[in-house]
Structure 1
């Protein structure tokens, strides 16, 4: 019979007398799960450690909501944020878990990427209105993108950099928030600043779907600055919701769907459009497993 080797594992509990049995309640408080998981990775006792989730674009209006929601759920997640400037970092609290980096530069985002379990991408190029527009004179405003911040550079190359970096560290899931309208190359959003923003967003989505990393692609409708949790959410595919009266969705609900997508297998390797009914027009969505189960499209 082969000899049995006894291995002693010193768990990170101070003041524990190994000669006595003590109740779990009597044990001293241990370090955060994420910390002990990193120190003792590979032991099944730490399999339930809260996953570390990075939100990029955490300084944006929707990104802030996702980051805040993650921070409120310390029993479920270890939150991180990535912003582009120190000013944006201070705007969302200036915590040490917020990193400053440029998604167009792969090396600058690696400190934020290292050690994460999941990534939620909320970065996007932002068109700016040209000065001098006078709404009293009629007509439409003109828009432009700053040099180096066109959709091709931000929504395509920047998101590709994030996907590649996350894949290199072995993330378990990437959630990417895009926009409805990508099936129509002549969509009005593409004309803003001649940026073809939906074209480049769609290209990044396709790259993610083919990356081999488990993913969830959320193509949100028109974003509303309304309180979430009060509407019935709707999912669709191929912009079919644009042909209905339900083309909008609160940012807070989009943020919640991002987080819920990390918790259900039914959301993995799926892509869907997301909108909502008006308040009081239907029961507020609470069963996200059922919502994700309605999705049949993988891209």
Structure 2
């Protein structure tokens, strides 16, 4: 069993990761900005701590309140947000810094296809729309890689709400594109956490049934 600090558990991929961590018997501590999801998470057996990822002191206090083995972050913004409000870099930077101080063994960052060298996987119009967010995600990835922490960066394709299909895959091929259910991303994130093979890897994630890239994909096996 690992003690996992999870940022972004209130909804989406983060909530799916929380469910799967609990189902596998891990202890989960969730960082929330508001009380909206508090009861639902507490009912799952999750310890809830409050704080905004952009608040350095709040993050340091929340992460350092007890020993944690792994920090997982799904923190991210949307293109409609003002650049100064985007948490993709600063929020994750705060979490990474806190993980270093807390001597966490591992940091798993949920990023996005289109970040960094995977920009080649997306068409120009999509890159233009997502540009500010992807720039921040790339900064967060670089900061994590240079933090000294053992890390895994997962770059999912387009997120969909369908049930996981068991066809979700990881690949080091930065040209791959496609979509993936949120539950599928969560399954891969937990699998990466439990596998030594995923340490210090940056991997794209799609569902093979939702693949947009032509041809076979060289998958990364955990």
Query: Could you say which TM-score interval applies, normalised by the shorter chain?
Result: 0.7 to 0.9
Say if 2:200 is the partner of 1:269: yes
Would you say the 8 A contact 1:145–1:195 is kept in 2?
no
Determine the C-alpha separation between the residues in 2 that align with 1:232 and 1:191: 27
What SS class does the counterpart of residue 98 from structure 1 fall into? strand
Determine the C-alpha separation between the residues in 1 that align with 2:183 and 2:46: 24
Of Structure 1 and Structure 2, the greater helix share is in 2
Q: TM-score, normalised by structure 2?
A: 0.84
Structure scoring higher RCO (CA < 8 A, sep ≥ 6) equals 2
Q: What is aligned with 2:156?
A: 220
Would you say the 8 A contact 1:160–1:204 is kept in 2?
yes
Q: What is aligned with 2:75?
A: 123
After superposition, the Cα gap between the structure-2 partners of 1:92 and 1:78, relative to the gap in structure 1 and judged at 3 Å, is closer
Matched residues, number: 207
Say if 2:39 is the partner of 1:106: no
Q: What is aligned with 1:60?
A: 11
Q: What is aligned with 2:186?
A: 255
What SS class does the counterpart of residue 241 from structure 1 fall into? coil
* 5+ residue gaps, structure 1: 1-49, 128-143, 280-287, 293-299
Q: Deviations over 1:52-80 (max 9, x none)?
A: 10110111211001111112222xx1111
After superposition, the Cα gap between the structure-2 partners of 1:102 and 1:278, relative to the gap in structure 1 and judged at 3 Å, is same
Determine the C-alpha separation between the residues in 2 that align with 1:232 and 1:196: 27
Determine the C-alpha separation between the residues in 1 that align with 2:180 and 2:101: 33
Would you say the 8 A contact 2:154–2:204 is kept in 1?
yes
RMSD: 2.4
* 5+ residue gaps, structure 2: 211-218
Q: Deviations over 1:96-143 (max 9, x none)?
A: 60111111111112333122110011010134xxxxxxxxxxxxxxxx
Which structure 2 residues correspond to residues 130-145 of structure 1 after superposition, within 5 A? 144-145=80-81
After superposition, the Cα gap between the structure-2 partners of 1:251 and 1:232, relative to the gap in structure 1 and judged at 3 Å, is closer
Would you say the 8 A contact 1:119–1:171 is kept in 2?
yes
Q: What is aligned with 1:80?
A: 29
Displacement, 1:147? 7.5
Determine the C-alpha separation between the residues in 2 that align with 1:53 and 1:220: 21
Which structure 2 residues correspond to residues 116-265 of structure 1 after superposition, within 5 A? 116-127=68-79, 144-146=80-82, 148-150=84-86, 154-182=87-115, 183=117, 184=119, 187-189=124-126, 191-192=128-129, 196-238=132-174, 240-242=175-177, 247-265=178-196
What SS class does the counterpart of residue 218 from structure 1 fall into? strand
What SS class does the counterpart of residue 271 from structure 1 fall into? strand
Displacement, 1:205? 0.2
Determine the C-alpha separation between the residues in 2 that align with 1:68 and 1:109: 22
Q: Deviations over 1:176-229 (max 9, x none)?
A: 01000123398545544x861101101110110111100000000111212125
Structure with higher Rg: it is: 1
After superposition, the Cα gap between the structure-2 partners of 1:188 and 1:90, relative to the gap in structure 1 and judged at 3 Å, is farther
Q: TM-score, normalised by structure 1?
A: 0.63
What SS class does the counterpart of residue 92 from structure 2 fall into? helix
